[in-house]
Homo-oligomer: A and B are copies of this chain.
């Protein structure tokens, strides 16, 4: 079953391919093609179920009409939701979305970026795990717009949408301190260069300083993402032991937080009596767990909407000589207080 081509409809109508191409691309009026001819072309195209060959088009135009979305972990609710939102936003644009998952693997991310470039993606939205901006510099200079979501790269000439990770973390840690918690541990994932992680760690340190609590490297446990459960279990044990004896834990993200909850269950630790818990990112688990967890919630939908706008803007202004400044959108987060860190003094 061979698909109809421009040539097929041209010969069926005894006109030239160029004529058909022009009409089908909506430039018929512009070039004074007679209305009658246009009508016949459209009719025949429909009759033959004509669909343009994307490869031929791409080869000729050097464009793919595709936007690549590269997320770092599609099984994380945060990114999954982002995919859904962005797909929805782009649905009625003339671009198709190609979703890719780097699975927090820097090499994999590079491969996927190469793929996207090879396929002439018209734009790329990415939550990057890269350490440096070199690759993106190259990509942007070669004419493919990029928008960073969630994670930024310092001094990169690339648009960005994310949230105030430092401020948000300061807020939640200060909240804990205000409730009387004095020994607050942090469980983070790494090693990593990811800006969100680093910013949250910074926010944690800032807040300790501002509230007069003392910071100690012992209170910060960096666990590896593989075998997360085992690593978190270990980290929790160490944090609870002397000399740390923390009475509250800040989990760097929803994934770590839910793993903490699993470990607490296992160890029969009561929240917040035995240990308080707060984290970055809201999710159904945080709302429905026992007790519900106090979180810093990100405006996920808004991030997706803004990122879609940014990439479309960049794509549209390409070629034109408008030069828009790099946009770094930092959205506000929201502290949602639940019951995982009841008043510490009352718990005594």
A contact set with B: CB distance below 8 Å: 1, 51-56, 58-59, 64, 73-77, 80-81, 83-84, 87-88, 91, 96-101, 103, 108, 114-115, 118-120, 141-143, 258, 261-262, 265, 284-285, 287-291
Contacts and interface: CB of A to CB of B under 8 A. Distances in A.
Contact of A288 (B77, B119, B261): B261
B261 A54 contact: no
Contacts of A118: 51-54
A119 to B, nearest CB: 5
A59 B81 CA distance: 35
Contacts of A289: 285, 288-290
9 contacts: A55-B59, A75-B77, A99-B99, A258-B284, A258-B288, A265-B288, A288-B289, A289-B290, A290-B290
A229 to B, nearest CB: 11
Contacts of A88: 103
In the complex this chain forms, how many copies of it are found? 2
A284 B287 contact: no
Contacts of A115: 96
Contacts of A287: 262
Nearest to A114: B51
Contacts of A290: 288-291
A29 B114 CA distance: 28
Most buried by B among A75, A265, A291: A75
A189 B119 CA distance: 39
Nearest to A111: B91
A101 B75 contact: no
B75 A80 contact: yes
A185 B73 CA distance: 36
A324 to B, nearest CB: 21
